[in-house]
Structure 1
Amino acid sequence: AGKVVMIRQEVVLGAPSRQATELALGVVFRLCRALLGAHWHPLSVNFTHAAPPDLQVHRRLFGCPLEFGSEFSGIVCLAADLDAPNPTGDPAMARHAQRLVDTLPRVNEASIGREVRNAVYLMLPMGRASCEAVAQGLGLSLRTMQRQLDEAGESFTDILSEVRRDLAQRYVS
């Protein structure tokens, strides 16, 4: 089997409702299907909430294994699926989009705290939110990430504690 990708649906502020989570995943699923072709099927669609009594609509919409009570809400698929060329893609638009992306600010001192925080929110539920793993996920060396956090007046330990506290409050409410 090839590499697996998790497309996670996360709500950073507030507790997401079951309906909002399912709607968001339905939209992402339809977008992937539109871009990758009608033949595309993810390996699974995962939900943190419990399964509803009737799964007919879910099975009809997603057509793949459904996992309720999961550690995350999102779609799991093969990385190769996302690497496939888009048959409806426009090369000129792709170049234009790449130029726009290239103008976006990179991870820097001003946003490093936010970037680390976002990475911890995504990695912590899987037990992978180590300082090293977060730095690697951001494409930074451990020393560079720590230096940038220090320059921004933040620390990985403080961010990790803050995210743990926030997630714990969400899980018990």
Structure 2
Amino acid sequence: MKKALLVIDYTVDFVAKDGALTCGEPGIVLEGYIEQLTKEFIDRTEAVVFAVDVHDKNDPYHPESVLFPPHNLRDTAGREPFGALKQLYHDHHEQIYWMDKTRYSAFCGTDLEIWLRARGIEELHLVGVCTDICILHTAIDAYNKGFSTVVHEQGVASFDAAGHEWALRHFENTLGAVIVR
């Protein structure tokens, strides 16, 4: 079965201590695991997608504008991959599909499903932030589109510990996802 790794929103704004909408330490500690897993997928020539939130400054029409402070603004350092992932992307950008997304789910309003289907991918491995927001919504869409889903517990985090725990149970018990512990 062909697999793809989706690294979702692992950016400076979502992870760095001074990020605009950071999950802080819970996100920071994921760095080594996500870096290693990304390298493994690249080494096995399996698909890697960096699905990265993008917003325009002062966009009054985006629903997140009233829910969260400005974050992952287009053409800012906040959208760069966090930590070692920045260099990894730089070194392997021809093997990593960078995909902008404007909603929680990496599928909503993007070509992700077409890109995956064209490559015969059937199993998605999810890492990044936030477990109970963008990872969750991506996993729900993956389920509804018939993809097998694997969530790496050591590769996901949130700024809401209770939401994180709830989402992990939901992935497994409601979406039938495999949780790698």
Aligning the two structures, in what range does the TM-score lie when normalised by the shorter sequence?
Answer: under 0.3
- Please report the TM-score for the alignment, with normalisation by the length of structure 1: 0.27
Q: Could you say which structure has the higher helix fraction?
A: 1
- Please report the TM-score for the alignment, with normalisation by the length of structure 2: 0.26
